[in-house]
């Protein structure tokens, strides 16, 4: 109960409060120290107080931060400082009627999700085309990946998340996993044509 009350006392980090980022981080640090929070859990807990903009920022930097509290604080303070110096760099590509939409809302309304069933290459091409129409940049495309996948495809992504460091690499791994490769006619033994035709499309991952 004491832990819950202490965590609830921490204010959500809004755009306005980013001006006082040092004070916010100080309160956060003191609370974590009082609760004897494990170092590895502090960064993840801190992100629960982020707004959509900061959640997007964290998704693009979490690999560099690697759950290190000092690195997290330094990068967050630098981001807050850069934001104050040059507000125009803040991404507004998700705006509609002057309101900033969350990433999840954008994906839910503008994109088709992939479950692991269906033409993977066709889905990827459609998704890339939709990225262009929405004006999403490379780092935004990368952070959109977990919202675009469901079921088997999402589980595959989670298992390989450490390998997905760019959208290009994701595309390569994704196609290797979910694209079916047709057998060549010379690969079909004579006399077995009827039996083989029913399995002409064999997923690459079937043999792994």
pLDDT in 10s for each residue of the chain, 208 residues = 567 777 777 888 877 778 888 888 998 899 889 888 888 889 988 988 888 888 888 888 888 898 899 999 999 998 888 877 765 445 444 443 333 346 677 788 889 999 999 899 999 999 999 988 888 888 888 888 888 999 999 999 989 888 888 889 999 999 999 986 544 444 444 544 443 333 344 455 444 4
Q: Is residue 40 part of a domain?
A: yes
Q: Is residue 203 part of a domain?
A: no
Same-domain status, 76 and 119: no
pLDDT score for 196: 35
Same-domain status, 40 and 77: yes
Same-domain status, 79 and 109: no
Please check whether residue 150 is in contact with residue 108, taking contact to mean a CB–CB distance below 8 angstroms. Answer: no
Same-domain status, 80 and 15: yes
pLDDT score for 195: 39
Query: From CA 51, how far away is CA 72, in angstroms rounded?
Result: 16
pLDDT score for 192: 45
Same-domain status, 103 and 150: yes
Query: From CA 168, how far away is CA 39, in angstroms rounded?
Result: 32
Q: Is residue 190 part of a domain?
A: no
Query: From CA 47, how far away is CA 106, in angstroms rounded?
Result: 21
What range defines the domain where residue 25 resides? 2-89
Query: From CA 146, how far away is CA 192, in angstroms rounded?
Result: 42
Provide the 3-class DSSP secondary structure of residue 96: strand
Q: Which of 44, 68, 89 is the last residue of a domain?
A: 89
Q: Is residue 78 part of a domain?
A: yes
Same-domain status, 38 and 107: no
pLDDT score for 87: 55
pLDDT score for 156: 93
Same-domain status, 67 and 15: yes
Q: Is residue 53 part of a domain?
A: yes
Number of domains in the chain: 2
Provide the 3-class DSSP secondary structure of residue 180: strand
Q: Answer yes or no: pTM beyond 0.85.
A: no
């Amino acid at each position: 109960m004491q832990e819950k009350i202490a965590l609830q006392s921490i204010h959500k980090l809004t755009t306005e409060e980013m001006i006082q980022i040092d004070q916010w981080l100080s309160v956060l640090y003191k609370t974590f120290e009082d609760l004897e929070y494990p170092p590895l859990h502090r960064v993840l807990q801190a992100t629960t107080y982020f707004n959509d903009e900061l959640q997007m920022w964290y998704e693009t930097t979490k690999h560099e931060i690697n759950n290190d509290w000092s690195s997290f604080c330094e990068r967050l303070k630098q981001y807050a400082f850069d934001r104050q110096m040059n507000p125009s760099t803040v991404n507004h590509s998700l705006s509609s009627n002057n309101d900033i939409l969350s990433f999840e809302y954008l994906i839910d309304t503008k994109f088709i999700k992939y479950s692991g069933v269906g033409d993977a290459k066709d889905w990827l091409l459609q998704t890339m085309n939709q990225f262009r129409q929405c004006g999403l940049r490379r780092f935004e495309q990368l952070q959109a990946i977990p919202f675009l996948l469901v079921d088997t495809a999402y589980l595959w992504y989670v298992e390989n998340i450490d390998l997905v460091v760019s959208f290009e690499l994701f595309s390569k791994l994704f196609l290797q996993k979910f694209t079916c490769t047709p057998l060549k006619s010379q690969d079909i033994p004579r006399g077995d044509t009827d039996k083989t035709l029913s399995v002409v499309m064999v997923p690459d991952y079937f043999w792994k």
